[in-house]
Amino acid sequence: MATLNARIPSLSLTRLTLPALPALRTMLRAITTRRQLAEMDDRMLKDVGISRVDALREAERLPWDLSRHR
């Protein structure tokens, strides 16, 4: 019985994940800050100039939705 000695190129986990790290960090930061925004009381929102509606709308955005909304 002959064995096949074909080499299959291996994909390095490091090579796949390192380029994605900055994007993942940015998404994690968006999740964290959006959660904090949703938890702010009305006084805090007023201090930063954001309405409750805008805060909740921002908090509902998906982590990869990183475009600026105004």
Q: If you search the block for the tokens 């994690």, which residue do you land on?
A: 28
Is 53 part of a structural domain of the chain? yes
Is 68 part of a structural domain of the chain? no
Residues in the chain predicted with pLDDT less than 50, given as ranges, are none
Is 39 part of a structural domain of the chain? yes
Structural domain total, the chain = 1
The CA-atom distances, in angstroms, between 49 and each of 5, 20, 24, 59 are 66, 33, 28, 16
Is 51 part of a structural domain of the chain? yes
| Full domain range(s) for residue 30 | 22-59
Q: What is the pTM of this model?
A: 0.68
In this structure, the number of other CB atoms found within 10 A of the CB of residue 54 comes to 14
**What pLDDT is stored for residue 18 in this prediction?**
73
Is 65 part of a structural domain of the chain? no
The residue among 29, 45, 25 whose CA lies nearest residue 37 is 45
Q: Is the C-alpha dihedral spanning 47, 41, 52, 68 positive or negative? A: positive
Is 32 part of a structural domain of the chain? yes
Is 48 part of a structural domain of the chain? yes
**What pLDDT is stored for residue 5 in this prediction?**
60
